[in-house]
């Protein structure tokens, strides 16, 4: 709990990309069950909070990992962020889901 990391990432929105560095803090840690972290966005005046969750459960001979994200948009005033929030499913969600689908696969490779 409280551990922070700096993540360098490329954010893709509607085909355009932007390199960002964001700080994440571990806020939930239940060994063998769950962990989550919040991201302080690289542009904090634009997005309120993002929290990434990983839920763990026995699954066959291994562990089933469920990965989800919650975005609190806060009260954006920047036109681009308002547009992103209002059109998130079309503009950004497919890229987030694609990345999220890769995460459990990468975790499995690391565990093996």
The 10s digit of each residue's pLDDT in 35-75 is 998 887 655 566 677 888 999 999 888 888 888 888 888 78
What is the C-alpha to C-alpha distance for residues 38 and 49, in angstroms, rounded to an integer?
7
pLDDT in tens, 76-98: 887 877 888 898 888 778 877 88
Domain that holds residue 9: 4-111
User: 20 - beta bridge partners?
Assistant: 9
Q: How many domains does the chain have?
A: 1
């Amino acid at each position: 709990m409280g551990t922070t990391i700096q993540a360098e990432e490329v954010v893709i929105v509607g085909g355009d990309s932007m390199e960002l560095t964001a700080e994440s803090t571990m806020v939930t840690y239940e060994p063998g069950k769950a962990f989550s972290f919040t991201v302080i966005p690289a542009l904090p005046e634009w997005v309120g909070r993002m929290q990434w969750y990983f839920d763990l459960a026995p699954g066959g001979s291994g562990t089933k990992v469920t990965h989800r994200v919650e975005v609190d948009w806060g009260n954006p005033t920047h036109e681009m962020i308002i547009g992103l929030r209002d059109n998130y499913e079309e503009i950004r969600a497919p890229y987030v889901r694609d990345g999220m689908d890769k995460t459990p696969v990468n975790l499995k490779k690391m565990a093996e």
